[in-house]
Amino acid sequence: MNEQQQLNYHRIADAIHFVRENFKKQPSLGDIAESVHLSPYHFQRLFSDWAGVSPKKFIQYTSVEYAKRLLKEQQATLLDAASQTGLSGTGRLHDLFISIEGMTPGEFKNKGARLSINHSFAESPFGKLLVASTAKGICHMAFIEDEKEALEVLKGRFANAVHQEYFDCLQQGALSVFQGDRNQLDQVKLHLSATPFQLKVWNALLKIPEGRLSTYGDIAKRIASPRASRAVGTAVGSNPVAFLIPCHRVIRASGNIGGYAWGDIRKTAMIGWEASRQ
């Protein structure tokens, strides 16, 4: 790292610290830029390059994370959460949650309340799976090593839902994709809670043909955000439905297989299996 890069790194670190200390005041771009002695224009570009998101989006992320802690740990009301986060009202809190979490503050606080979730364990060519569904579609599918731990993860995502072990037709349809029925994938219904950005990324993943690979940069261009490769990587990594949303088809621009939530070896095997079926 040369001298200029070191200087930029420290400026961004200072800016992040400033936001975390002052987000309740909802500082403007100018306020943050001034704290690190840069013009708003220069700071906007520098921060976006280093952090992968704009300063405005970073403030929003910080605000929502704080509001989530208030709602979850302190059981705060929506009005109190908005006020303590420095937002103008519950409407602003609602809009931020929809934009960043893909759900309303009330839905986050309820954490799956009034949802009935069926789950089952199944074998696949790539190991054991936990698959779960609501009345609307598949909400969770993950490769697992330990059934108890995997079930705890599922119940942590939907803590207030009613869970039962039951193999339904939605799960049956989802698992049939491992049995050579390529057309079945188009019929699988998903029930996902996600941000608009995550949904755009996951939809782009669904368009990668079986047996083909794409890069994070390719996905960023496909969703008209060519500078958002890092954010794309985060969205790919947060995919809650293994294989059906084919994040395993995304590799690094260097050709390196890259990471995978369910293991690099499994990812390599899946890529090879799909290529052999062409």
How large is the average pLDDT for residues 144-168?
92
From 33, 129, 247, 251, the catalytic residue: 247
Yes or no: say if 248 and 270 are a contact pair by the CB < 8 Å rule: yes
Model confidence pLDDT, tens digit, residues 93-140: 877 776 666 567 776 776 666 789 999 999 999 999 999 998 888 999
How large is the average pLDDT for residues 133-149?
93
Model confidence pLDDT, tens digit, residues 72-101: 778 788 888 888 888 888 888 877 776 666
Using 50, 70 and 90 to split pLDDT, how confident is the model at 185? low
247 belongs to the catalytic site: yes
**228, 220, 222, 213: which is closest to 258 by C-alpha?**
213
Q: How far apart (Å, rounded) are the C-alpha atoms in residues 223 and 197?
A: 9
Yes or no: say if 36 and 75 are a contact pair by the CB < 8 Å rule: no
Q: What one-character-per-residue DSSP string does the chain give?
A: --HHHHHHHHHHHHHHHHHHHHGGG---HHHHHHHTT--HHHHHHHHHHHHSS-HHHHHHHHHHHHHHHHHHHS---HHHHHHHTT-SSHHHHHHHHHHHTSS-HHHHHHTSTT-EEEEEEEEETTEEEEEEE-SSSEEEEEE-S-HHHHHHHHHHHTTTSEEEE---HHHHHHHGGGGT-GGGGGG--B-----HHHHHHHHHHHTSPTT--EEHHHHHHHTT-TT-HHHHHHHHHT-SBTTTS-GGGEE-TTS-----TT-HHHHHHHHHHHHHT-
Q: Which residues pair with 130 in a beta bridge?
A: 121, 142
Q: How far apart (Å, rounded) are the C-alpha atoms in residues 16 and 53?
A: 12
Using 50, 70 and 90 to split pLDDT, how confident is the model at 50? confident
Mean pLDDT of the chain: 87
What pTM was estimated for this model as a whole? 0.66
Q: How far apart (Å, rounded) are the C-alpha atoms in residues 32 and 48?
A: 13
